[in-house]
């Protein structure tokens, strides 16, 4: 095909546009990338040691730019194999490595390989730590848990710190779902390496370190931050935001190097005395009423209606241990609920409130979840339930529960997590579990019942390691092939069976509703002003 000179000229222009513009854009992009990387630093900042035991420790730090990092243990002057981040390989701004298989009462040094550069010390000290000596005491698992929200929540580390700075911190790297668990039984005193048993009155700092200049802090007594099961109180939240001075909360002995000077805080600018008026976007000549509607999938039947059981027949005693128990029930509508209890039927002077309530006010719920205070072992407690205008008292005989004996060995730390789905309010539900033997290995039959209350996202934790046999005289011994059986309070006939070796569980609330339920999916065109 022959082209005229004019056609050839047009073809050249088109080729220049097709090839030149992408190349120019790519060049600008690479230039911006180069300038950004040149301005950031891969030097480890805020190198902190935590979770020190006789055989392990955790090391965490930050970098100004996302990089691959490794920790290199040094034993007798010899570098060992590099250890990657606990969360796997990949570039991050926060970094978290666990050292394991260490010797007790031994000093270890290490180097950090960050973006190909090796670092062996901070501005003020070398990177080294000393493991704890062997102790005659046996650590008792003491897990606490919660969630981190906000931008870059999955690139963060959570620390539990004693406010008096006399104890090495406990820590964990935040997983991708934002839910974290820390075992406080690893905490040791700095001066003696003695194990620390955290009490309700101990003053605690719960701290999140995220990307540079971001994090979150909660301070208070242990009992004001966590409930009796170790879950972060629902009135509190760990949302990552701009915050300064996080390193100041840590004991100096736990800080192995900062490698930078703390920046001076920026002063807020003076407000403009004559601000510009807000623009008026209303079109006075347009008589139509306009409103943007956020279209979403429509659930035809909202759960929580009369199709589920409620009232006194749903009362259950769960989570019984040697020092605690949990009372749960479900009401037909949102209402206040509390319990009066005591060691005799005639004297029910002690009170338990829902874990979502506080000292000054009580909330209204459909599902009620009440945890007892710390109790005496092998003791019978009597109680009656106040649910709205109703009093449940077992036909005048009062309810009762007997706490279990204290066992000689601590339970294993086995925590499962999952979520409930498909309802408008995911936090006003209670999930009840029991372990069922399916292979005739370990304990036979079923365990005592345990329960949990999901958060506003429907996510929950449940500790199954301390579950007892039906008499409460021993921990329930289970295998990965045994069944972790669950039901939602108010629908006990609908069981959800999971393998106890699973880690993630999902309960679809649509499956427990009787009658007609369904979901209308989003349409491509609703026929309203040609909205797509």
Q: Find all residues with CB under 8 Å of 8, minimum gap 6, and list them.
A: none
pLDDT of residue 22 exceeding 70, the answer is no
d(CA 469, CA 449): 10
Name the more confident of 417 and 385.
385
Let me know if residue 526 belongs to a domain: no
Among residues of the chain, what percentage have pLDDT more than 90?
A: 53
Let me know if residue 171 belongs to a domain: yes
Provide the pLDDT for residue 268. 55
Let me know if residue 289 belongs to a domain: no
Let me know if residue 492 belongs to a domain: yes
Q: The tokens 């550069």 sit on which residue?
A: 117
Query: Domain end: 241, 257, 273, which one?
Result: 257
CB atoms within 10 A of CB 61: 27
320 shares a domain with 223:
no
229 shares a domain with 327:
no
Model confidence over 463-519: pLDDT tens digits? 898 899 999 999 999 998 899 999 999 999 899 999 888 877 899 988 886 433 444
- Closest listed residue to residue 173, CA positions, set 249, 94, 232, 243: 94
373 shares a domain with 225:
no
Provide the pLDDT for residue 136. 80
Query: Domain end: 257, 286, 303, which one?
Result: 257
Range of the domain at 149: 45-257
446 shares a domain with 360:
yes
d(CA 498, CA 305): 27
Tokens representing residue 33 in the block: 């990338």
pLDDT of residue 405 exceeding 90, the answer is yes
348 shares a domain with 227:
no
248 shares a domain with 165:
yes
Q: Find all residues with CB under 8 Å of 87, minimum gap 6, and list them.
A: 96, 173, 175
Let me know if residue 161 belongs to a domain: yes
Provide the pLDDT for residue 10. 63
Structural domain count, the chain: 2
Provide the pLDDT for residue 28. 46
- Provide the CB-side half-sphere exposure for 245 (13 A, CA): 6
Model confidence over 191-212: pLDDT tens digits? 999 999 899 999 999 999 998 7
Provide the pLDDT for residue 12. 63
pLDDT of residue 6 exceeding 90, the answer is no
Mean pLDDT of all residues in 110-129: 87
Mean pLDDT of all residues in 312-334: 95
Region of poorest pLDDT, from 18-32, 301-315, 457-471: 18-32
208 shares a domain with 105:
yes
| 222 band by pLDDT with thresholds 50, 70 and 90 | very high
247 shares a domain with 154:
yes
Provide the pLDDT for residue 514. 45
Region of poorest pLDDT, from 179-193, 291-305, 399-413: 291-305
Provide the pLDDT for residue 38. 45
Let me know if residue 216 belongs to a domain: yes
Tokens representing residue 309 in the block: 């059981």
Let me know if residue 399 belongs to a domain: yes
d(CA 341, CA 350): 5
Name the more confident of 268 and 96.
96
502 shares a domain with 399:
yes
326 shares a domain with 231:
no
Looking at every residue in the chain, the average pLDDT score rounds to: 83
359 shares a domain with 239:
no
CATH number at residue 508: 2.60.40.380
Mean pLDDT of all residues in 320-344: 95
Let me know if residue 73 belongs to a domain: yes
Tell me if 356 sits within 8 A of 365, measured CB to CB. yes
Q: The tokens 């109790």 sit on which residue?
A: 375
CATH number at residue 162: 2.60.40.10
325 shares a domain with 237:
no
């Amino acid at each position: 095909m022959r082209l005229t000179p004019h056609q050839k000229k047009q073809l050249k222009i088109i080729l220049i546009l097709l090839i030149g513009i992408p190349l120019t854009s790519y060049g600008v992009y690479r230039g911006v990338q180069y300038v950004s990387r040149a301005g950031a630093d891969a030097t480890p900042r805020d190198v902190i040691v935590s979770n020190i035991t006789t055989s392990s420790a955790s090391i965490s730090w930050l970098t100004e730019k996302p990089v691959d990092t490794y920790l290199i243990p040094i034993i007798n002057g010899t570098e060992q194999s590099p250890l990657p981040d606990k969360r796997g390989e990949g570039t991050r701004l926060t970094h978290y490595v666990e050292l394991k298989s260490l010797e007790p009462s031994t000093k270890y040094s290490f180097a950090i390989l960050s973006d190909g550069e090796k670092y062996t010390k901070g501005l003020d000290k070398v990177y080294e730590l000393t493991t704890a000596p062997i102790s005659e005491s046996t650590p008792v698992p003491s897990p606490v848990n919660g969630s981190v929200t906000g931008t870059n929540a999955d690139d963060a580390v959570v620390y539990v710190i004693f406010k008096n700075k006399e104890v090495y911190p406990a820590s964990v790297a935040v997983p991708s779902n934002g839910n974290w668990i820390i075992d406080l039984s690893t905490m040791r005193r700095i001066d003696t390496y003695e194990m620390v048993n955290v009490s309700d009155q101990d003053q605690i700092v719960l701290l999140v370190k995220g990307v540079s200049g971001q994090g979150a802090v909660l301070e208070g007594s242990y009992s004001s931050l966590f409930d009796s099961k170790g879950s972060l109180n629902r009135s509190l939240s760990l949302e990552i935001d701009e915050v300064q001075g996080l390193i100041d909360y840590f004991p100096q002995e736990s800080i192995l190097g900062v490698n930078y000077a703390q920046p001076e805080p920026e002063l807020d600018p003076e407000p403009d005395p004559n601000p510009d008026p807000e623009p008026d976007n209303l079109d006075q000549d347009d008589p139509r009423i306009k409103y943007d509607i956020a279209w979403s999938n429509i659930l035809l039947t909202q759960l929580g209606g009369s199709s589920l059981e409620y009232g006194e027949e749903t009362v259950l005693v769960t989570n019984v241990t040697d020092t605690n128990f949990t009372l749960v029930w479900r009401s037909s509508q949102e209402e206040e609920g509390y319990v009066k209890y005591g060691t005799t039927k005639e004297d029910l002077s002690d009170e338990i409130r829902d874990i979502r309530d506080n000292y000054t006010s009580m909330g209204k719920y459909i599902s009620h979840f009440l945890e007892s205070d710390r109790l005496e072992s092998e003791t019978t407690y009597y109680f009656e339930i106040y649910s709205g205008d109703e009093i449940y008292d077992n036909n005048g005989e009062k309810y009762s529960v007997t706490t279990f004996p204290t066992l000689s060995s601590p339970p294993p730390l086995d925590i499962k997590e999952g979520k409930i789905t498909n309802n408008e309010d995911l936090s006003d539900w209670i999930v009840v579990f029991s372990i069922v033997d399916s292979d005739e290995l370990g304990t036979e039959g079923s365990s005592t019942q345990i329960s949990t209350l999901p958060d506003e996202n429907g996510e929950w934790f449940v500790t199954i390691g301390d579950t007892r046999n039906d008499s409460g005289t021993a921990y329930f011994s289970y295998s990965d092939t045994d069944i972790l059986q669950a039901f939602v309070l108010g629908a006990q006939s609908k069981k959800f069976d999971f393998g106890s070796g699973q880690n993630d569980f999902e309960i679809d609330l649509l499956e427990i509703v009787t009658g007609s339920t369904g979901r209308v999916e989003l349409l491509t065109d609703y026929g309203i002003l040609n909205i797509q």
